[in-house]
Chains A and B, each alone.
Chain A
């Protein structure tokens, strides 16, 4: 066992973990932050995306001890201080960018990373950036639309409701 200390969603925590404990399991099992999901075992699906020191990371591809000393952000810490949805979350609701909700935390965290890097992405840039996040419900239309809307772009011209 090794001691790890990190700041998760603004809160300092210290825990004892096994060296092989993945960050995603640490978040889900030790911290009970179950919004971060596990959808595959090959780091393909992106349901487990979190931010580590501001970078988007697949939490299934990183050991908890590698995050020692880091600032970690998960879906549970994304809402505004008053509890309301942040701009990206609100855009996902407004544009029906989620159905079953399982991939959604990873999508929102990836979208946040994209918009930090590229505040006004084109459709092609959004689609390309989502290559590591799989959604089986939406056909991606409303996810792409929501992310573009969250960036402040006018999406009314995009087909359909």
Chain B
């Protein structure tokens, strides 16, 4: 039975009240006294040499307070990549500098080369237009294969467009090659994982403040991880001491990855605030968001699946080109490698896996982690090629997956791609899926569709992903330059209510509601008396923020550990109050009781005593009741799932309609089912968007053709169905205290291959020999494929 309150209850979200009444505080809602506006001059060409920039006219225009160009930042550091990848030959990846403002060369449309600070936005815009930049346009480097083959470079100083050539696991290469050569059946598929724009509804916004009296800075910014932003600005880009820089991410209107990263605009507003001694604000318009937010995906892949005639998998071999765009964004090198290659065994006992990824610089916006980050790419490749193999071998798509699933008695299971899966039950997920989808009724539904002239298809998928990012020891070995723990401080106030300061950042995930459910249950107190504090480096412990479905698994674990410390100390205080030994005190439902007696004090009484320590044994117990814990996970967590959908394809137009979608997931234990379901819905919306609608398109000149909502097809309400979501029977994670795995990205990982598999099934049912269509499956692409089949 669902609980009414505490862990596992669908508490309504407390943060909704302010969002539903217009009382939220997003960064652009903040207005400082004396605030000024920054506007950026952005390149209109994809590749060019900056010959000169004449700012003299702009500097003398009304209201203009300062003008910056790349030369002003030539001596400060670059925005670094957070993960060092070594190529197969042992050489380190190429890391060209990513400056605050372009200097010498512009490298993508939207690359900022100057900025104007003025009293008003209009004055800043007028002055920005008066800046004369002479930029010698060069041919754009857009296509990845051409970039690798050509002799013109995005970054001349590195003499190549290849960032790295990575093999995983290189020692398995020869065995995988041999297994494929000897295999009775090999299925090959070439596919494109289409480039996406994350499109959080709130455009990026940053406000810089400088306090000359303390020589200190405050940056208010749209960030998923304020401490990481502070670290990057302090240690790499600007050299501002960390203790002199506060980074605040207030209410943030969605992120999906795009707000993990530090961007040059943040450094610019800080530098400008210092120079003019006033607050400086920059708010992106949507076009700037399209041109400069880190994009996602953009892989070109060839995958081979070798198997026995009975469908037993022998090997997966993958060759991928991954676009990193014009500069390395902070996690851009981890995403196509350790978040992708390590998942290339899927849910399967396949003995041989080898992955080769070449990362390529192009004259396009930087590409980095976007909801799913590498795992959608892995899942798409694996699950598409399995579907093709099943069709070639005449094996049922569910049966071929079941045949190769890791079985429940095999955990912990080390996959051929090197990860140790701790828990799961993929057959049970498939059982649940089959209960939901009424497969027996499919033939009748297909017939009914046919009677209306429509082709109905059924698509299936099984996925695994890695969340709870990440064990610092492991990622350190793999090249990460940061640790990926998180932290929480539980402060019990004297009057018995709590402030819980967390390193995770909530920008839609509902932490303000779910985290108090957990602490409240542990302490036996009303969650309403607990507030979560996040997003302000001056208030919270050093945490790594929210991405990679890590908030609950990592930060939530830190919060549990800190709460356990609170209980341990409170027991000591209670023992003192009850004149008993701490070992003899039990804690249950908010009451401390001496074992075997009715002597008891409440949590609230203990809290008060902690702050009024009269007669305290100060040699044994410090006053106060506040504890901090840092938690570093022992392993990734491994959510998994089985998805199915039915689509109808209109053979006259190629239009695809999603008729129904079922998502069965194993997220381990569930803290708030309502919120978890909402996370899956959101992921499905983005995944179906990728499969059917979305694509960032650059032309040969490097112009982004899809740079507005008129050109980039965001999923609308009438593009999507109601979903059936089931996560009731998960297998708990074995290595974190809550047994949770993470649910934020699953929908976006599992849904694209499900949709494409369904469309292929629909076309095959009409006798069309279509084995693959690249996403997005627009009406034109589907119709074309049918005509050419």
Contacts and interface: CB of A to CB of B under 8 A. Distances in A.
Contact of B254 (A78, A136, A141): A136
A102 interface: yes
The residue among B10, B31, B717, B724 with the most chain A CB atoms within 10 A of its own CB is B717
A139 B682 contact: yes
Which of A29, A135, A136, A144 has most B Cβ within 10 Å?
A136
Given A44-B709, A159-B723, A76 B681 contact: no
Given A99-B510, A101-B16, A103-B201, A126 B717 contact: yes
B285 A93 contact: no
A131 B253 contact: no
B548 interface: no
A62 interface: no
Given A96-B13, A160-B725, A108 B20 contact: yes
Q: Pick the most buried of A39, A47, A79: most chain B CB atoms within 10 A of its CB.
A: A39
A123 B718 CA distance: 9
B708 interface: yes
B262 interface: no
B17 interface: yes
Contacts of A36: 22
B437 to A, nearest CB: 12
A101 B21 contact: no
Given A75-B21, A141-B722, A131 B716 contact: yes
Interface string A135-148: 11111111111000
Contacts of A137: 201, 254, 508, 678, 682
B413 to A, nearest CB: 30
A147 to B, nearest CB: 10
A38 interface: yes
Interface string A146-161: 0000000000001111
Nearest to A157: B722
A81 interface: no
* Max chain A C-beta neighbours (<10 A), residue from B31, B709, B722: B722
Interface residues of B, number: 62
B59 interface: no
B103 interface: no
A37 interface: yes
B718 A93 contact: no
Given A85-B20, A96-B675, A159-B725, A141 B681 contact: yes
B714 to A, nearest CB: 5
Interface string A32-54: 11111111111011010000000
B747 A139 contact: yes
A85 B26 CA distance: 21
Contact of B19 (A29, A74, A101): A101
Nearest to B712: A44
Nearest to B289: A40
Given A75-B22, A101-B508, A139-B684, A42 B717 contact: no
B21 A136 contact: no
Contact of B201 (A39, A94, A131, A140): A39
Nearest to B19: A101
Contacts of A92: 16, 20
Contacts, number: 199
A130 interface: yes
Given A41-B287, A96-B678, A139 B723 contact: yes
A144 B682 CA distance: 13
B286 interface: yes
Interface in A117-134: 123-124, 126-128, 130-131, 133-134
B156 interface: no
Contacts of A1: none
Given A134-B716, A136-B714, A139-B681, A74 B723 contact: no
B394 to A, nearest CB: 33
B24 interface: yes
A40 B718 contact: no
Nearest to B506: A100
B677 interface: yes
B201 A130 contact: no
Contacts of B13: 93, 96
A98 interface: yes
B202 A139 contact: no
Contacts of A34: 22, 25-26, 28-29
A101 B686 contact: no
A41 B17 contact: no
B357 to A, nearest CB: 28
Given A41-B287, A139-B682, A144-B717, A102 B26 contact: yes
Interface string B361-382: 0000000000000000000000
21 contacts: A33-B22, A37-B253, A42-B286, A44-B709, A44-B710, A76-B22, A98-B19, A98-B20, A100-B202, A100-B254, A102-B200, A102-B254, A103-B253, A126-B717, A127-B717, A128-B718, A134-B709, A136-B199, A136-B714, A141-B681, A161-B677
A-B CB proximity, top 9 nearest: A35-B22, A139-B685, A101-B19, A102-B253, A100-B508, A99-B508, A44-B709, A34-B29, A75-B22
Given A96-B12, A123-B722, A141-B723, 9 more contacts: A34-B28, A35-B24, A93-B20, A108-B20, A124-B718, A127-B718, A128-B717, A139-B720, A141-B720
